[in-house]
Amino acid sequence: PATLVGIDSEGMHLLIGLLYTTGLRISEALALNDADLDLDQARLRVRKGKFGKDRYVPLHPTTTARLRQWLRRRDRYAGSSAATPVFCNPRGRRLDRRRAEDFFRRLIQACRIGAHAPAAPRLHDLRHTYACNCLQRWQQQGADLQVMLPILSTVMGHVNLRSTQVYLHTTAAQLVRAAQTFHD
């Protein structure tokens, strides 16, 4: 179906993708208005994020392209102005967190994701995935993580580096690669 609990499924698909590719908090993504997007520069602006911090977040070219497509579709029922919410329901009102989380919960249940896990995945978990993916990519590229960590901290809107260092842990995939390297 096109909608589930009053939410446009294409908009939810984009919301999930945006959280995965930017590390935004769900509240920050839902607070975005058209004025916060600079698609020509491939970035978005988080206004008054956690602790009242403003910041710019870079966008991947594929995310920028999907945002352009979504906005054209969304404009048909929500209009377009600087104050128009990026994510809204089919009636053009800002999407609220409860509905977004309910949609995500139903989606992962329907897909049986985490069916046997002690706790079901949450939208906020995409933030953690983003941080770990960045660190893993930088590690594979041979980047100095101590140099890159402050960048990740800024993009994620952390108040200090300690909040970002939480993501410095060994993943199962890294252990397998290390064991294979040792074996070789």
**Catalytic (active-site) positions:** 25, 50, 124, 127, 158, 167
Three-state DSSP string of 49-87: CHHHCCEEEECCHHHHHHHHHHHHHHHHHHCCCCCCECC
Residue 23 has a CB neighbour count (10 Å cut-off) of 22
Please report, for residues 60, 122, 163, 170, the alpha-carbon distance to residue 14 in angstroms, rounded to integers and kept in the order given.
13, 16, 27, 29
CA–CA distance, 117 with 53 (Å, rounded to integer):
34
- Going by C-beta distance under 8 Å and a sequence separation of 6 or more, which residues neighbour residue 99? 5, 6, 7, 89
